[in-house]
Amino acid sequence: MAIVNTNTRYGSVTRIFHWLTALLVMTLIPVAMIAHELPYETSEQLAQKAWLYSLHKTLGVTVFFVALLRILWAISQPKPASLHPERRVENLLAETAHWLLYGSLVLAPLSGWIHHAATSGFAPIWWPLGQSLPLVPTSETVAALFGGLHWVFGKVMIVALLLHIVGALKHHFIDKDATLRRMLNGAPELVDLPIAHHGRSPLVAAIAIWAVVLTGAGVFGFYTPKEGAVEAATLSEVASDWIVEDGSIQIGVTQFGSVVEGRFTDWTANITFDPAIQGGKSGQVEVIIAIGSLTLGSVTDQAMGPDFFDVSQFDTATFNADIITNIDGFTADGTLTIKDVSIPVSMPFRLSLDGDDANVQAQLTLNRMDFGIGANMPDEGSLAFAVGVTINLDATKSTPE
């Protein structure tokens, strides 16, 4: 059995690459479709959905490397001649479909891998390569871009694959030639075929198709972050003694053993504070957070749902607290209200003062179950109870008019 290709036959290495790629692709496509349709209302359902998505991603990374090796091998080998060189249009279409398929076998898994690395949460890749990629930042914009590209490349792959299969079956059952058989068993040596000459027209045609499809997807907004499932609450401006100039409220949840980080982008803080008070109550703070402004990686929509924040019913969270000056620092003692559930919270924080400028840093751990968030998922293996909160803000004392 010949290892390398000839002008008329495919060698065993080429055939192994072909059928290994086919097996992987014909597995990962239905796996993704099934996973997409599965519900995730309970821990068991979420675990099953995540397992299938992890399988899809892991197979996708495998396809990426197999496709690269296959392309490198194909470049080093002669490509067997067409059995019907006189059918120029048919050969052009067949080779164009091949270029589309080769391109999508590399670009679809690569774009999916970059999308995975740019976002956080849900369904890790099982390859021991880590979940991040060099030069790929954690960014919703980057994730949206490559998520859209992955969708487009995936659909082109499916179309090109179907055309490839239809063409092979046509050769086998209608033309009754050896096109399919020489990819199965090499087929008998066909000595009367002319030397194959493959022009650039199919590659140019494939590039043109890519350009049209990718441009069309861009026109329809496939590469931009999607709007949230609900619109964030509109918060009223507050008259505060200390005006927050810059700041962040971030959270971290642990899903399937991996930390998913997110942040609220819209919130208000009404702060009164007298630094001259050296002990006891020295001020008050009221923070109102627009829950719908949360971005939480790939699980943002899930977090907004009725089993979690239920943002359609409870669109804000509120923290009311007294600021207590202690000998060794500061504490905000008060009540945190989420989903109409109020829990006493004591939050130590660091305060740095420079004249009328202040910086506040705090870290807090909450139990999501206290607020009925994800109560349908009592298994910490799927979603840990502990939720880390990190606060960092810069404020300036307002000047009386």
Contacts of 247 (CB under 8 A, 6+ apart): 269, 360, 391, 392, 393, 394, 395
- Asked if the structure places residue 226 within a domain, the reply is no
- Asked if the structure places residue 234 within a domain, the reply is no
Q: Name the domain count of the chain.
A: 2
Same domain, 325 and 177: no
Higher pLDDT, 225 or 48: 48
Q: What is the largest CA-CA distance in the chain?
A: 99
CA atoms within 13 A on the CB side of 61: 20
Give me the DSSP letters along 318-334. Answer: EEEEEEEEETTEEEEEE
Question: Rounded to an integer, what distance in angstroms lies between the CA atom of residue 46 and that of residue 49?
Answer: 5
Same domain, 209 and 249: no
Question: Rounded to an integer, what distance in angstroms lies between the CA atom of residue 395 and that of residue 382?
Answer: 38
Question: pLDDT digits over 278-319, tens only?
Answer: 999 999 999 999 999 999 988 888 899 999 999 999 999 999
Whole-number Cα distances in Å, 106 to 162, 164, 248, 365: 17, 17, 38, 42
From the list 5, 43, 7, the residue with the least C-alpha distance to 198 is 7
- Cβ atoms of 134 and 117 within 8 Å: the answer is no
CATH of the domain at 246: 2.40.128.110
Same domain, 177 and 247: no
- Cβ atoms of 275 and 323 within 8 Å: the answer is no
Tokens of 126: 């099982």
Which 3 state secondary structure label does DSSP give 397? strand
- Asked if the structure places residue 51 within a domain, the reply is yes
Mean pLDDT of 191-206: 80
Assign 21 a pLDDT band (cuts: 50, 70, 90).
Answer: very high
pTM as predicted: 0.85
Percent of the chain exceeding pLDDT 90 equals 73
Question: pLDDT digits over 52-63, tens only?
Answer: 999 999 999 999
Displacement of CA 18 from its chain's centroid (Å): 29
Mean pLDDT of 352-374: 96
With a cut of 90, say whether residue 401 has pLDDT above it.
no
Same domain, 21 and 97: yes
Q: Mark which of 219, 252, 279 sits at the end of a domain.
A: 219
Same domain, 62 and 189: yes
Question: Rounded to an integer, what distance in angstroms lies between the CA atom of residue 301 and that of residue 2?
Answer: 54
Same domain, 177 and 256: no
Same domain, 93 and 158: yes
- Asked if the structure places residue 158 within a domain, the reply is yes
With a cut of 60, say whether residue 228 has pLDDT above it.
no
Percent of the chain exceeding pLDDT 70 equals 96
Question: Rounded to an integer, what distance in angstroms lies between the CA atom of residue 192 and that of residue 194?
Answer: 7
Q: Mark which of 219, 254, 289 sits at the end of a domain.
A: 219
Same domain, 25 and 162: yes
- Asked if the structure places residue 156 within a domain, the reply is yes
> Is the backbone of residue 398 left (phi > 0), alpha (psi -120 to 50) or beta?
beta
Displacement of CA 85 from its chain's centroid (Å): 45
With a cut of 90, say whether residue 134 has pLDDT above it.
yes
Same domain, 184 and 286: no
Residues in the chain: 401
- Quote the pLDDT of residue 18: 96
Tokens of 299: 């699980």
- Asked if the structure places residue 388 within a domain, the reply is yes
Mean pLDDT of 355-363: 96
- Cβ atoms of 49 and 40 within 8 Å: the answer is yes
Same domain, 142 and 285: no
Give me the domain span that covers residue 329.
Answer: 242-397
Summary mean pLDDT of the chain: 92
Same domain, 377 and 263: yes
Question: Rounded to an integer, what distance in angstroms lies between the CA atom of residue 45 and that of residue 51?
Answer: 10
- Quote the pLDDT of residue 8: 83
